[in-house]
Amino acid sequence: MAAIRWRAWRPIVLPLLFAGALLLAWQELTGWLAVSPMLLVPPSAIWSVLVQAWPVLLAQSWPTLVNSVVGFLLASGLGIALGGALVVSRRVEQAFWPHVLIFQLIPKVAVAPLFIIWLGMGPTSRLAFAVFLSFFPIAVSAATGFRAADPTALRLCRSLTATTWQTFLRVRVPYAIPHIFAGLKVGVTVAIIGVVIGEFVTAQEGLGYIIMFASSAAQTALVFATIALLCGIGLLLYGAVALGEWFVRRWYGAPISAGGFE
Amino acid sequence: MLSLSEPALPGECIRAEKAWKIYDTAKGPVEAVAGVSFSVRRGEFVAILGPSGCGKSTLLMMCGGLEAITAGRISVDGAPIACPRTSIGVMFQESTLLPWKSVLDNVMFPIELLHRPRREHMARARELLSLVGLSGFESHKPHQLSGGMRQRAAICRALVYDPDILLMDEPFSALDAITRDEMNDALLDIWTRYTKTALFVTHSIREAVYLADRVLVMNRRPATIVADIAIPIPRPRDPSVGETKLFNELCSTLRGMIEHSHRAARDVTPYA
């Protein structure tokens, strides 16, 4: 009985133990080796800065969080729509698909300054950059998903004289959903990266701005505290997507994996 | 073989006249169906029997409007077929149930697509399911069913919108022998009750003889129908039919024809 219980809890307990051990080692080693606080601060110092600067950090988290969420939602809508268009229309696919792939190859961070030229220093350019960054993984996985429909199911629809739209909604969309969620999970983390990069470049507000400011002032502890907060935001948004996936899985009631239906 | 000059009979349901299917491949054109002619009367159960890769499935899909006809003509109910019709129900080799839908919802899928009245068809769907022994499994998902049960559900789905013609493409070939015999009986049950015109593709001689009123034997090279054999076994048929002399004679006649056509093909193309 006890052995069974341990096996059930192990996947939760082991990572926590590992993280605890790592933090302890970090704490002890920085003290023991007398590492300069300019380079690396112990976890206890990060914690105290986090508590101290909490009001400021919280205020600056807000624009980062909002831009990430809005950017991710816009990218999801656009990405899924383009993915669908690529599959429904052969012409759209032939015209767009090569460009989608080529766009993937652009080191997108290099384009960030252009967004400021086009859209100014305000939140619009940060939002647009987040959309730009997270749009592609979502579009590609949606297109893959819409193509992943069982060909025999598509033939069945044809034999039943279903319209393209009926086939899309009733067969292609359900088959695509596991793939789309895989894309959304990548997209949501990339949207946060996009916002933070935007904040680096525009240096107006947000956690990215705090990191730039703190590192130029050699406040290493504050940099770490901000990174910890960004991790928290990432975890929150990723968790929201995972929760959505869980609900969809339950609605399906069929065994699905990342690769589609088993 | 049918003569082509024969005029369309009043009871004629499917009529193929010199139908061809030629695929363009990298190695040149391939004749999947080479000038096939036959006809099926209304209410008749016809099996197309042939070795795998002889083009019999392609021919069936052409009859259902799911494959384009390269040359010649196939008419269904007097009109040349160019695209799928709702008067035709198709059963495929795989059950192709949608994995996220329950058995009942899968059976109702055609009704949903065709915007037919839901309530009266729901009753029909339940009736069909009970006829194939799936009562009590209405809310199960496909992954919870065995292969045979899935194919039973697929029969119900093909019949729920009451098509006049049922086209079946080796629907039981993926099942084990015992399940397959059960499925044949279930199919005959349902066919006697609703008397659909049925065209059934198979590579099993016994299956063809057990089910059909007529067996069309299809050859590989050229891919055409070489014999049209009537099966005068009285209905209703049950598994004991398989023990009778007539049944076994018919089987061996057909086996001889398939072997013969094989040899003929080998004589023409020794290294094929």
Please give the mean pLDDT across all residues of chain B.
87
As a whole number of angstroms, the distance between CA B157 and CA A160 comes to 11
In this structure, are B177 and B246 located in the same domain?
yes
**Subunit contact A153:B66, Cβ cutoff 8 A:** no
CA distances from A113 to A144, A188, B16 (A): 31, 22, 68
Percent of chain A exceeding pLDDT 70 equals 96
Instruction: Give me the pLDDT at residue B192, please.
Output: 85
CB contacts under 8 A, A 26-55 vs B, are none
Could you tell me how many helices (H) and strands (E) chain B has, helices first?
Answer: 8, 10
Measured between beta carbons, the chain A residues lying within 8 angstroms of B142 are 254
Domains of chain A: 46-261 (1.10.3720.10)
Q: Tell me which residue in B92, B96, B99 faces A261 most closely, judged by beta carbons.
A: B99
Selection from A207, A246, A212 nearest residue A227 by Cα: A207
In this structure, are B175 and B240 located in the same domain?
yes
Question: What is the CA A262 to chain-centroid distance, rounded?
Answer: 26
Furthest CA-CA distance within chain B? 60
Domain membership flag for residue B4: no
- For residue B76, name the pLDDT band (cuts at 50, 70, 90): very high
CB atoms within 10 A of CB A84: 20
The domain in which residue B111 lies consists of: 88-162
Residue pLDDT, tens place only, A117-165: 999 888 899 999 999 999 999 999 999 999 988 899 999 999 999 998 9
Domain membership flag for residue B190: no
- The three state secondary structure string of A77-146 is HHHHHHHHHHHHCHHHHHHHHHHHHHHHHCCHHHHHHHHHHHHCCCHHHHHHHHHHHHHHHHHHHHHHHH
CA of A250: which chain B residue's CA is closest? B100
**Subunit contact A153:B113, Cβ cutoff 8 A:** no
CB atoms within 10 A of CB A260: 18
Residue pLDDT, tens place only, B207-230: 999 999 999 999 887 888 988 999
Residue A251 has pLDDT above 50, yes or no: yes
As a whole number of angstroms, the distance between CA B181 and CA A11 comes to 48
Coil vs helix vs strand at B68:
coil
- For residue B270, name the pLDDT band (cuts at 50, 70, 90): very low
Residue pLDDT, tens place only, A76-90: 999 999 998 888 888
Residue B185 has pLDDT above 80, yes or no: yes
Which pair of tokens denotes residue A4? 């069974």
User: Which residues have C-beta within 8 Å of that of residue B43, sequence separation ≥ 6?
Assistant: B11, B13, B195, B196, B197
Please give the mean pLDDT across all residues of chain A.
89
In this structure, are B202 and B213 located in the same domain?
yes
Residue A2 has pLDDT above 90, yes or no: no
In this structure, are B174 and B73 located in the same domain?
yes
Coil vs helix vs strand at B130:
helix
In this structure, are B177 and B156 located in the same domain?
no
Residue A33 has pLDDT above 90, yes or no: no
Domain membership flag for residue B191: no
Domain count, chain B: 2
As a whole number of angstroms, the distance between CA B38 and CA B16 comes to 5
In this structure, are B217 and B129 located in the same domain?
no
Which strands sit side by side in the sheet containing B71-76, from one edge to the other? B28-41, B12-25, B71-76, B79-80
**Subunit contact B92:A252, Cβ cutoff 8 A:** no
| CATH code of B215's domain | 3.40.50.300
**Subunit contact B98:A174, Cβ cutoff 8 A:** yes
**Subunit contact B113:A166, Cβ cutoff 8 A:** yes
Domain membership flag for residue B213: yes
Q: What is the mean pLDDT of residues B52-71?
A: 90
In this structure, are B41 and B18 located in the same domain?
yes
Min distance B84 CA to chain A CA atoms (Å):
5
Measured between beta carbons, the chain B residues lying within 8 angstroms of A166 are 113
As a whole number of angstroms, the distance between CA A158 and CA B92 comes to 12
Residue pLDDT, tens place only, B77-102: 989 998 999 999 999 998 899 999 99
Residue pLDDT, tens place only, B23-38: 888 888 888 888 899 9
Instruction: Give me the pLDDT at residue A34, please.
Output: 84
Percent of chain A exceeding pLDDT 90 equals 58
Rounded to the nearest 10 degrees, the angle between the axes of helix A54-88 and helix A220-252 is 40
Residue B5 has pLDDT above 50, yes or no: no
- What b/e readout covers A144-183, taking b as 16+ CB neighbours within 10 angstroms? bbbbbbbeebbbbbbbbbbeeebbbebbbbbbbbbbbbbb
As a whole number of angstroms, the distance between CA B207 and CA A64 comes to 68
Distance between first and last Cα of chain A = 32
User: ipTM of this model?
Assistant: 0.85
Q: What is the mean pLDDT of residues B45-54?
A: 89
In this structure, are B178 and B254 located in the same domain?
yes
Instruction: Give me the pLDDT at residue A68, please.
Output: 96
Domain membership flag for residue B17: yes
Domain membership flag for residue B2: no
Residue tagged 């006649």 (tokens) = B253
In this structure, are B219 and B256 located in the same domain?
yes
Instruction: Give me the pLDDT at residue B102, please.
Output: 92
Q: What is the DSSP string of A200-246?
A: HHH-SSSHHHHHHHHHHTT-HHHHHHHHHHHHHHHHHHHHHHHHHHH
Instruction: Give me the pLDDT at residue A261, please.
Output: 54
Instruction: Give me the pLDDT at residue A255, please.
Output: 59
In this structure, are B260 and B174 located in the same domain?
yes
Instruction: Give me the pLDDT at residue A258, please.
Output: 43
Q: Are B27 and B57 in contact (CB under 8 A)?
A: no
Measured between beta carbons, the chain B residues lying within 8 angstroms of A161 are 83-86, 113-114
Domain membership flag for residue B174: yes
In this structure, are B59 and B153 located in the same domain?
no
Domain membership flag for residue B189: no
A to B CB pairs, distance under 8 Å: 56
Instruction: Give me the pLDDT at residue A93, please.
Output: 85
Q: Are A193 and A207 in contact (CB under 8 A)?
A: no
Q: Are A147 and A87 in contact (CB under 8 A)?
A: yes
In this structure, are B60 and B132 located in the same domain?
no
- For residue B2, name the pLDDT band (cuts at 50, 70, 90): very low
- For residue B272, name the pLDDT band (cuts at 50, 70, 90): very low
CB atoms within 10 A of CB B217: 23
Instruction: Give me the pLDDT at residue A55, please.
Output: 94
Residue tagged 């029997």 (tokens) = B49
In this structure, of B24-28, B161-165, B242-246, the range with the lowest mean pLDDT score is: B24-28
Q: Which residues pair with B199 in a beta bridge?
A: B46, B167
Measured between beta carbons, the chain A residues lying within 8 angstroms of B100 are 174, 251-254, 261
